[in-house]
């Protein structure tokens, strides 16, 4: 699926599932908010769902992770479905078109 502009999402809600997963994965709501406000990259996963992603320093050692936030953008406000972090940054980052 194609890349979209890295435009921000400022109006959104966190679903119960997203809240559960970000808590379980030790991702703060502030990190999710920052990724949505200033995504480094944004891609359409399927019609109505985008993934926004940015690198973020996390943990006691400030290790850099790629935080990926999946958002249903076909509703108002947009709904954050889930988020996760990965150390495999190059696997998920895409070259600029």
**Residue 5 pLDDT exceeds 70:** no
Please report the pLDDT score of residue 6 as a whole number: 72
The structure's pTM equals: 0.89
3: CB partners within 8 A, 6+ apart: 41, 42, 43, 44, 94, 97
Whole-number pLDDT of residue 2:
45
Each domain of the chain, given as residue ranges in start order, spans 3-92
* 31-57: pLDDT as tens digits: 999 999 999 999 999 999 999 999 999
Q: Which residues of 23-34 are buried (b: 16+ CB within 10 A; e: fewer)?
A: eeeebeeebbbe
**Per-residue pLDDT tens over the stretch 65-95:** 999 999 999 999 999 999 999 999 988 887 6
pLDDT of residue 96: 53
């Amino acid at each position: 699926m194609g890349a979209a502009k890295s435009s921000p999402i400022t109006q959104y809600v966190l679903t119960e599932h997203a809240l559960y997963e970000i808590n379980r994965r030790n991702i703060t709501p502030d990190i999710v908010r920052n990724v949505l406000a200033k995504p480094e990259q944004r891609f359409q996963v399927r019609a109505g769902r985008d993934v926004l992603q940015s690198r973020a320093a996390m943990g006691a050692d400030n290790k850099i992770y790629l935080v990926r936030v999946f958002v249903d953008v076909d509703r108002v406000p947009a709904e954050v479905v889930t988020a996760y972090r990965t150390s495999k940054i190059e696997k998920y980052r895409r070259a600029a078109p």
